[in-house]
Amino acid sequence: MSSRAALDYLVSFAMCPENVQITLLHVFRKASASEELVGKTFTKDEEKRLLDLLEKTKDVLIEKGFPPENIKIEMAMEPYPTIADGIIDHYKKGKFDMVLIGRKRMSKAEEFVMGDVSVRLVRALETGAVLVVKSR
């Protein structure tokens, strides 16, 4: 839901789509002990499902006027300790001006336990812009 909110915001934003380079990124985080019990079959299926989702997102962007050659899909296959760590690592390795991320609503307890990716990004990515879109 939060990713969809970010996509909806991006396509409604007034810009020249032909001048924008977009990287759609999915970061895998290291599995917890309970998630490891689910097994590799589930992980492989999840990988395909997420790649399909990124492809559909690319299709939406193309329909809205973004040139296909300006849209890149990346899957960070090497798991990171957290999603934020993966995004920060890819940001530092690439040439990006902005990170656009959706943020879902969380209770204070969820935020305390899971952390807040968007807050970490705002603090860590001092050389660029971080645009956080709240989902409804």
pLDDT at residue number 133: 84
**Burial (CB count <10 Å: 0-12, 13-18, 19+), residue 69:** exposed
Residue with tokens 């990170």: 99
Residue 112: the pLDDT is 47
Q: Which domains does the chain have, with CATH numbers?
A: 2-134 (3.40.50.620)
- Mean pLDDT over all residues of the chain? 81
Task: Compute the average pLDDT of residues 49-66.
Answer: 93
For 87-116, the pLDDT digits (tens) are 999 999 988 989 988 876 655 555 544 457
Matching residue, tokens 């492809």: 55
Q: Would you call 16 helix, strand, or coil by DSSP? A: coil
For 59-83, the pLDDT digits (tens) are 999 999 999 999 999 998 888 988 8
Give pLDDT, residue 113.
47
Residue 121: both structure tokens together? 């990004």
Coil, helix or strand at residue 77? strand
